[in-house]
Structure 1
Amino acid sequence: MDLLQLRYFQTVARFEHISRAAEELGVAQPSVSRTIARLEAELGSPLFERHGRGIRLNAYGAMFLRHVDRSLSGLDDGIKAVRAAGELGLGRVGIACETLLTITTVLGSFRAAHPRADVRLFQSNAEEMQRQLRVGEVDFCVASQPLTGSDLESAELTREEVLLAVPRGHRFDGRESVTVREMADEPFVTTRKGHWQRTLLDRLFAAEGLSPTLSCEGDEPGASQVLISAGLGIGLIPAMSRQAGTETRVPVTWVHVDAPACSRVLTLVWRRDAYLSEAALKFREFLGSRPFMTHRLPRP
């Protein structure tokens, strides 16, 4: 068993598709298929279930993947440590967040304070964040919903109210607050399942025994306000968008939601046993030394 087999297996397990894995690896599909077949022969057990042209990890494959992820992550940490030791800079820090607006200002301040740090930023949903932390693709996640794992550490950064954004002239325009039941027949602009806005929307409606009506589902939370201002629906938007002055560029009206815990909790999450470059350590220290943001809005 060699490192190449493990890399190929990890990539195939990620995509559960031979062709996509081959494209990601930059090799021919038959090479990937043969490598996986040799690995299964060496282990004495199939790792995937084949259904026509599709494949899925079986129980043996899922079990093996956990060990492969841990082993390759440790190896990658060693490579990072050696490279960082030989570099003049601070090394690289990888950060994933669900909404880029969340981290933009803080990241700009960090870069100004530490110009030698190599920063990589990813936009990911919660499921992708879990994977990125597990395989060492990122050092930190700025998450708006809990990430689970016995090997994960987290620190709360801030809490902020989540507001209802409505188009100008909407029947809620001018209201101080609305209830979930009042919103029941309104079409919502929101994100796909897996993003925190959708999770919050579904939870608020489920608490009332209701399901939201959706007019638009997307993967770009930052586009929601534009779609709302165009009259395509209403939507839940973090208070930071109002504080950032986006309403002057994308006009909407802001209304408080009269429901328990209509808020977002931002946490910084990292893997306890992962190697952290000097840049990553500086970033964590930087966040801990200053208020992350202040976007709680008092009711008028």
Structure 2
Amino acid sequence: MTTTLADWLAAQTVDPKLASVVATMAAASAEIAAVLRLAPIEGHTGLAGHTNVQGEAQKALDVISNDIVLNHIRENVEISILVSEELDEAVHLENQGDFMVATDPLDGSSNLDVNVTVGTIFSVLDARKGLLQQGKDQLAAGYAAYGPATSLVLTFGASVVVFTLDGAGQFVLTLDTVAVAEASGEYAINTARERFWDAATKGYVAENVAGETGSAGKRYNMRWVGSMVADIHRILMRGGIFMYPLDSETTGKGGRLRLLYEANPMAMIVEAAGGKSTTGREGILELVPTGIHQRVPVILGSAEEVARVEGWYAKG
């Protein structure tokens, strides 16, 4: 029997208002998926001609995706705050409910013009607790991966499930239990940045490159898409580790990826599936945010691999 997202949410022992927030982000993701399918035909490609608050050049589809999310959120009276990568400030919606959504509406948009998997990442929090909350306070997290199929990955904290968008525009449950493999022979890191790496990152990667002849004692493959959603989705499905560590070029910014709407939701998902997450020196979900666009180092995935990286950082 087919289980739709609506069926699954109705069966969960969570606040129906919280479930409605997840349903809203799913509906936004389905609309974004439809827009992406036709983007080259409709001419929605290339740069939008301006930059976001991070100083990054916005693609036309970054702006379109952000507008889609905002429009859906405005229609759900349970959501009163939106924090988005594409907006300088948080959007406060008057006379609405108790939930806040933090989102990267279109992760990996630099890959759009070459038809590589991109995604939407989101985190759901209690708006009454303010904008700057620790990752462990998240009520739900998820992402949509727009690839050969559109996958919607969700967690309320205890487990992780996967839905797939069908031809009628409904999300259908396709994997009711996701478990990140404890050990793996794959790692994802941008090796073009090696000259900026710290000693811990260099040591861990060198062990992997050494394969069977090194202290790790097994062969590794390196995978790097350049779209966080694509790399994390692969790790959820077959194990591995994703690394965007602090390095000499990103130290001044605190890291590369954003805490509230990239690191925290992905860490919640990976940990709910049995993996681990860290900055190298502390747990991502324990970090106390200092700003809505704060950047942090991100290392997450198979528990055994993350522990190895932590061991390298513990050396000094």
Fold match, TM over 0.5?
no
Normalized against structure 2, the TM-score is what? 0.33
The structure showing larger relative contact order (alpha-carbon pairs under 8 Å, at least 6 residues apart) is 1
Q: Give the structure with higher Rg (CA).
A: 1
Normalized against structure 1, the TM-score is what? 0.34
